[in-house]
Amino acid sequence: MIVPKKAIRSLIEVKDEDLVYISEVFRVAREIVKERGWKETDYTIVTNGGKRQEVPQIHFHLGSGATLNT
């Protein structure tokens, strides 16, 4: 799970000035993918919203079924 450094309740509440925090999430995800040696088809990044969001803080799940190269 990757959580922005700023408390943002949901995707709908992201303001233009918050985009730097969302961008940082994707930068971190990219680093993890590269570090693990995952291919483009080995991972997914997901965020829930609305009634599907159980935690009142925007966050992203980075998952993979790939075998780790470690």
Q: What is the pTM of this model?
A: 0.82
Mind listing the pLDDT tens digit for each residue in 9-36?
Answer: 999 999 999 999 999 999 999 999 999 9
pLDDT at site 50:
78
What is d(CA 31, CA 36) in angstroms, rounded to the nearest whole number? 9
What is d(CA 32, CA 69) in angstroms, rounded to the nearest whole number? 12
On the question of pLDDT at 39 being above 60, the answer is: yes
pLDDT (mean) for 41-46:
92
Q: Do the beta carbons of residue 2 and residue 28 sit within 8 Å?
A: yes
CB within 8 Å of 42: residues ≥ 6 apart: 33, 64, 65, 66
The average confidence (pLDDT) of the chain is 90
Q: Do the beta carbons of residue 6 and residue 59 sit within 8 Å?
A: no
